[in-house]
Structure 1
Amino acid sequence: MILEDLYRLLRDDHVQAQGIVDTLTLPLVVLDENLRVVNVSNAFIHTFKMERDAVLGRSLFSLGNGEWDIEDLRKLIADVIPKAASVAGYEVTHDFPRSGRRTFLVDARRLVHPDNNSTNILVLFDDVTESNRHEAEKDFILSETRHRMKNLFSVVRAIAMQTETKESTAEEYRDAFLGRLNVALRTHDLAPGTKNADFAAVLESAVIAADAERIRFQAGPSAELSSSRVLPVSMIFHELTTNALKYGALSVPEGEVVVSWRVETVDGERGMLVCEWREENGPAPQPPSRRGYGTELVVGTAKHLGGSAELKFEPEGLVAVVKLPI
Structure 2
Amino acid sequence: MIDFQNIEDAQTLAQAIVNTIPEPFIVLDDQFCVLAASRSFHETFKSDPEDTRGRLLYALGDGQWDIPALRVFLETIIPEQASMEGFEVAYDFPELGHRIMLLNARQVTYGGDSSRSTILLAFTDVTERRKIECEKEELLKQTEQLLHQKEILLQEMQHRVANSLQIIASILLLKARAVTSEETRRDLRDAHQRVMSVAEVQRHLHVSGIDQIEVGSYLAKLCGSLASSMIGESQPIAINVIADEGRIGSDKAVGLGLIVTELVINAIKYAFPVVKSDAVILVTYEIRGPDWKLIVSDNGVGKQADGAAETSGGLGTAIVQALAKQLDARVDMVSSPSGTSVSVTRATFMSQLQRGV
What TM-score does the superposition give when structure 1 sets the normalisation length?
0.46
Q: Which has the higher contact order (CA 8 A, sep 6+)?
A: 1
Structure ranking higher in helix proportion? 2
Q: Please say which structure displays the higher CA radius of gyration.
A: 2
What TM-score does the superposition give when structure 2 sets the normalisation length?
0.42
